[in-house]
Chains A and B, each alone.
Chain A
Amino acid sequence: DTEVTQTPKHLVMGMTNKKSLKCEQHMGHRAMYWYKQKAKKPPELMFVYSYEKLSINESVPSRFSPECPNSSLLNLHLHALQPEDSALYLCASSQGTGHTDTQYFGPGTRLTVL
């Protein structure tokens, strides 16, 4: 089973709203990732959690706030977003962060900021 689930599938929010994206995996993976992907572009890494600790933050604005409540769950809290933040937000997980650790992606959340 290589399933990563994400909710919601689609989200429309205003610039003053607060919302959260959720990601879950039950593969026993110890690394989880948030990516942002704009149309016709490759995924851009935002955050990496390894063993429930934030290990990489790719200079992401503070209006994006990640949280890893336990080894199976990853959240991304959104607040005061801008229209240019509209994108597909992808969660991924991997066994670890080593060179043989393939990342498996969830279906993504399509976010539109009005």
Chain B
Amino acid sequence: GQNIDQPTEMTATEGAIVQINCTYQTSGFNGLFWYQQHAGEAPTFLSYNVLDGLEEKGRFSSFLSRSKGYSYLLLKELQMKDSASYLCAVMDSNYQLIWGAGTKLIIKP
């Protein structure tokens, strides 16, 4: 079967750094996406990784290790507005997105 695991909830402090992990087992791999979703709103695209390594985009970075079936999203200089759910999704061999359940990130002052 196909499976994507993320922590259910994490808490961090404003101004700090947080790492959200995602492990996956899917039938095929055509890339991994991270989306941010604020409560009641649509998911917003953050990053895409298909090759091993780190992709940096401002305060957000995403890392992929295909051999380990592992990715993480790193958020630096946390702001209150970063409080949201972060969804990891893998594109499988049929080019369909397989979604993790999401990690709810709570930022405290």
Residues of A with Cβ closer than 8 Å to B? 2, 40-43, 45, 56, 88, 90, 97-108, 110
Contacts and interface: CB of A to CB of B under 8 A. Distances in A.
A97 B40 contact: no
Contacts of B96: 45, 56
Contacts of A99: 30-31, 50, 91, 95
Listed from nearest, the 3 A-B pairs whose CB atoms lie closest are: A99-B30, A42-B99, A105-B42
B40 A42 contact: no
B100 A100 contact: no
B71 to A, nearest CB: 15
A15 B101 CA distance: 29
B27 interface: no
17 contacts: A41-B101, A42-B87, A42-B100, A42-B101, A42-B102, A43-B99, A97-B95, A99-B30, A99-B31, A102-B33, A102-B45, A102-B48, A104-B45, A105-B35, A107-B41, A107-B42, A110-B40
Interface in B75-109: 87, 89, 91, 95-97, 99-102
Which of A43, A45, A56, A88 counts the most chain B CB atoms within 10 A?
A: A43
Interface in B36-72: 40-45, 48, 50
Nearest to B93: A99
Of residues B40, B43, B101, B102, which shows the largest number of chain A Cβ atoms within 10 Å of its Cβ?
Answer: B43
